[in-house]
Amino acid sequence: MWLSLFLLLLPPASSTISLRDLQGRFATPDYPQGYPNDMSQTWEIKVPSGYGIQLSFTYIDIEPSANCAYDNVQIQADEALYPPSCGSWTGDWKKFHFPREYHTSGNWMRVTFRSDFSNEERYTGFSAYYTAVDVNECEESNPCSHFCNNHIGGFLCTCRPGYVLQENQRLCGVRCSGEIFTRFKGLITSPNYPEHYAENSKCHYTIRIEQGFQIMLNFTSHFNIERDAFGQCTADVLKITSGQKEYGPFCGNRAPVIRDHLSNVVEIHFSTNGEGEGTGWKIMYSSTAKQCPVEILEHNVLQPKNSDYDYKDSVRVRCESGYELHDNVRNQYIDSAMVHCQKDGTWNSSWYSCRPVDCGNPMALRNGKRNVTSTVYQFLNTYSCDEPYYKLEGNAIFECAATADWVAVGTSDGTLPNCKPVCGRTAISDDTGRVFGGKPARLGYFPWQVRLRTYDGKVGGGALVSDGWILTAAHLFDGSRQTTVHGGIVNLQGLSPEKALPVEDAFLHPNYRPQADGSEPNFEHDVALVKLRARAKLGANLSPVCLPAAGETSPLRAGRLGYITGWGKTEVRDRPIFLQYAEVPVVGMDKCRGLDYRGKRPRFTDNMVCAGQPGTDSCQGDSGGPFVLRDLRHPSRHVVRGIVSFGPQQCGSYGVYTHVGRYLAWIVKTMREHGSWEDEETRA
């Protein structure tokens, strides 16, 4: 019992028999004695490609059952699995439940027989034979695009005249690839143009001309390439490539327009589907020399100057005014260079550049400043002076010109401006005092005041009238013209030669005559100029007083107040340490004539001014110092109108001053004739 149950659970024995001949027979095991129980037998039939299979049953006797569930035979062919079959056939078709013959267009078939574990009766099974049958592929699937020729075991595709069989040996197309056009102009069409172009084709045309030339494409108006059902270019497609640029895809009935000049190589790709309904296209191509830009370098001048330049053209390059041609390889400037238009559409000009001329640093101004951001062509420099002690005279703004010179803007004038000293500035307040009985001055009150000491021991004063000249009295130099000058001070303590202003020479008025012992005093033309060896640097404590305006030669109006300054004798000290100042009026000359000059009779002329008042006067040691009045037209300025010249033995009343206005012409002439300094050449 256990053994029987175990046997029922075992799967049926199975095997597969392979049949490879063009024909053959096979039958159920033990045929015709009756097939065994509980078995599975498969026959796999395979014939050569190009054949089908015809299977015929000559005898069938298989146990019948509902849906052939017990014993059955089942056929699989052409990827179809037929239902299981059973029953008997002994010549009576009515008893046979399945067809006698099976056919397949494919070259493979599988036959499987199965029996269950028991049969109530003995059934003999089946016998069958098969044969390979030629398949007419041309009728069944029409695999060829043009002509299909059937033969035993296969078929052969052929094409209409003008077409060739493609690699798949089924589709027909035309030979339209590999042709290269090398002429400078030509004509290219789609296959069969203007008739319908070939279907199933992939055409590739190449235009390749000499480098340095460009290709131009022109489509004729007759243009017809099939679109797909959605109007897109997917059915038949025309594309054009040149360099890195692609044009297309093109299709439809409107001829495309390509305005670009293409490179010297153009690829034309035309592919068609299996329809071939369009009439195609026609391209006329031409060529032109590749053009180079009309501007080679920035700021260049070309010779010849043309509207366009083609491959192999040559031009001479120079630079426009204000620029210089630089050879970047040799690192030198040259007058011109010959350059050539190259085959890639560029000039061989990378070695050269037009550089703006360089004017170098503009000359520096004495007592002034430069304001320049660049020294090359068309850049500007603005001069300014050290205000408020200097004032600019002349053009302030200069431009770097094409000649590599700095010139005033809008002109060709390269004359530098001057920083002219500002005269007559003072920090004095309105308080007054006396020189003889006066009061000490502070720094900046009288910045023009200087102290002179000649080598023979005379001391006196003077006034700075520019940054290089001092106005003083001539009689200080009766014994020696060598002198030491200190300026920018009010305190005489600590003076040393190192702090002195360097003196170059002293110039006395040519009509001045030194005083002679025993003779009547004659201080006519008592005026002198001292030239400094170098121009003084002006500032709050050292700046000039103004000279009178031209023509101010008439006698000064009585009552005008002016400042007198000096380190001369006071009522309490013969040699004061601090600079003293006082304000005194101009008086009539008769006041000075009436004084006691130790019985002598000095000469009085219109070249002299009398000024002072009882108790306020200049004195010994003040000689050469200035008598300064406010400028009536410019109250902030002060003008030197007199020079301390002489006075009575007893100070404290009136004194005589040289009338500066009378000597203005000589002063200006002397300063102009001798007013040059060696260091002026170092202003750059």
Catalytic residue numbers?
A: 475, 526, 623
Q: At 641, which helix (H) or strand (E)?
A: strand 638-646
User: What is the spatial distance between Cα 525 and Cα 512, in angstroms, rounded to a whole number?
Assistant: 5
Do 75 and 111 meet the contact criterion of CB atoms below 8 Å apart?
Answer: yes
Residue 10: partners with Cβ closer than 8 Å, 6 or more residues away: 38
Do 380 and 371 meet the contact criterion of CB atoms below 8 Å apart?
Answer: no
464 burial class (0-12, 13-18, 19+ CB within 10 angstroms)? buried
Tokens of 552: 């101010």
Residue 637: partners with Cβ closer than 8 Å, 6 or more residues away: 423, 424, 425, 546, 630, 631
Tokens of 253: 């009935």
For residue 35, give the nearest of 67, 61, 4 by alpha carbon: 61
User: What is the spatial distance between Cα 276 and Cα 108, in angstroms, rounded to a whole number?
Assistant: 37
Residues in the chain: 684
Tokens of 206: 């190449």
The one-character DSSP state at 302 is: E
Residue 240: partners with Cβ closer than 8 Å, 6 or more residues away: 217, 246, 247, 248, 250, 258, 266, 267, 268, 269
Q: How many CA atoms lie within 13 A of 346 on its CB side?
A: 5
Do 200 and 273 meet the contact criterion of CB atoms below 8 Å apart?
Answer: yes
Q: How many CA atoms lie within 13 A of 599 on its CB side?
A: 2
Residue 451's φ and ψ, nearest 5 degrees, are -115, 130
For residue 391, give the nearest of 365, 420, 415 by alpha carbon: 420
Do 615 and 437 meet the contact criterion of CB atoms below 8 Å apart?
Answer: yes
Tokens of 502: 């360097």
Do 450 and 495 meet the contact criterion of CB atoms below 8 Å apart?
Answer: no
Residue 207's φ and ψ, nearest 5 degrees, are -105, 120
3-state secondary structure of 477: helix
The one-character DSSP state at 307 is: S
Residue 355's φ and ψ, nearest 5 degrees, are -105, 140
In the block, tokens 């040393």 appear at 496
Give the count of beta carbons closer than 10 Å to the beta carbon of residue 245: 10
